Amino acid sequence: MKDRRLMLFEVARGTAAILLALLVATIFIFLCSDEPMTALRYLLIGPIIKDSGGFNTMSFYTILAAMIPTIFTGLATCVMFSAGQFNLASEGGAMAGGFVAALCGIYIQMNTGLHAVVCVVIAAIVCGLIMLIPALLKVKLGASEMVTSLMLNYIIMYIVLHFLNYNFADRSKGSTQTYPFAETAQIPALVPGGSKLSWGFVVALVFVVIIALFMYRTRWGYAIRMIGINKSFASYSGMKVGGVIVLSQVIGGLLSGLGGSIEVLGRYTTFLWKELPGYGWTGITIAILAKNNPIFVPFAAFFIAYLNKGCSLMATYSDVPAEMIDIIQAAIFLFFAAEQFLARYRQKIVVRNTQADLAKLETVKGGETQ
């Protein structure tokens, strides 16, 4: 019973963090807007309710489409963070994945159906291999994966830009972009219309299930989680700590590569990213919101996508700038990450439980001596 009380407390703490963050956002909106009620309306219900009052299906699909890459980067971050590896390179991974998949889509000739799959698989493998860099540096040399992966993001970005500019650019176009992918490489849309909701969404949900099973129903996922909780315990138990740390980051790379490649092949017809796409950063937010549990990732991704959509609507139709999303995200981060947030109340629960246990123990002892 006491465990359930603590778990309920954790859920309540999460909800409170989100509500407080929205409250902070509301305060800012009231401070900087002349039409705060309009702004709030677009932020909170705009994404799914039409101005006329009905349910906005197309906008809803757009939100789902926006979840595709961030579900993957969120899963990638979950796996790596679960192993206690603060690897931030799913950002670069998504970009590299997108670029590799685009090249495969342009320069490999194949049949419809198979082509897209091959592109995505190659992209994922390349990203998995790239992630060996911070992983091996960590295991062999003890270099902080946080620093190396952060650096790696920019190395990947500039390498991609170099090849895009000098080797693969379509000179007939006004902006820097590759030649268009073969039609066989494009991921088909799931619903008609311009929502960009592709079959990638279904793949993303399948991967949520796969990764959840991997983390909670296989010995490798188990080892990843145990190492994240207590490395000394894991190695004393006989787990290969170094190998599992590398594994977790390679899987992180695979997933972020999947995210980037599916996004590029599902949304665009050419590769045209000229900076880091931001999906990796969002993935970190999602992993933190989901408490590293893959099952919660789609919900967190939906929440973030919804907020993003709300913010862009608010920026379009009211006088509040789109940067508000950063304030809301930062506030959620602060409240979520703050261990001490409501800690006093938690400590009260713990003290009460412990004292109840001790009292029980005393009565048991008393009974024995009698």
**Smallest distance, Å, CB 240 to another protein?**
7
155, 93 in Cβ contact below 8 A? no
**Are residues 283 and 67 in contact, defined by beta-carbon separation less than 8 angstroms?**
no
Judged by CB under 8 A, does residue 353 bind another protein? Answer: yes
Mapping DSSP to helix (H, G, I), strand (E, B) and coil, where does residue 110 land? coil
| Closer residue to another protein, CB minimum distance, 50 or 348 | 348
206 binds another protein (CB under 8 A): no
15, 165, 354, 363: which one binds another protein (CB under 8 A): 354
> Which residue's CB is nearer to another protein, number 43 or number 227?
227
Residue numbers 3-32 binding another protein by CB under 8 A: 3, 6
Would you state the structure tokens that stand for residue 91, as one six-digit string? 């950002």
Q: To the nearest whole angstrom, how small is the minimum distance from the Cβ of residue 207 to another protein?
A: 15
Does residue 225 interact with another protein by CB under 8 A? Answer: yes
| Binding segment toward another protein, per CB under 8 A, in 69-77, 153-161, 234-242, 285-293 | 234-242
Out of 30, 154, 158, 236, which residue is the one contacting another protein (CB under 8 A)?
236
Q: Determine if 171 is a binding residue for another protein (CB under 8 A).
A: no
Calpha distance 65→44 (Å, rounded): 19
Site map (CB under 8 A) of another protein, residues 308-347, x = contact: -----------------------------------x--xx
Are the beta carbons of 215 and 294 closer than 8 angstroms? yes
The smaller minimum CB distance to another protein, of residues 214 and 273, is found at: 214
Token pair 């592709």 is found at 198
Closer by beta carbon to another protein, 175 or else 232 = 232
Amino acid at 59: S
* Residue 217 binding another protein, by CB under 8 A: yes
Tokens linked to 113: 């159906």
At 304, list the tokens: 């973030």
Q: What are phi and psi of 192, to 5 degrees?
A: -70, 160
In the numeric block, the tokens 């890459």 are attached to 69
What amino acid occupies position 305? A
* Binding-residue total with another protein (CB under 8 A): 35
CA angle 322, 275, 313 (to 5 degrees): 20
CA atoms within 13 A on the CB side of 92: 25
**CB of 265 within 8 A of CB of 257?**
no
Report CA 288 to chain centroid distance, whole Å: 9
> Tokens for 68?
């595709």
Question: Does residue 226 belong to the site contacting another protein (CB under 8 A)?
Answer: yes
* Of positions 9, 28, 199, 222, contacts another protein by CB under 8 A: 222
Q: Minimal distance in Å, beta carbon 213 to another protein?
A: 7
Q: Where does this chain bind another protein (CB under 8 A)?
A: 1-3, 6, 213, 217-219, 222-223, 225-226, 229-230, 232-240, 343, 346-347, 350-351, 353-355, 357-358, 361, 365
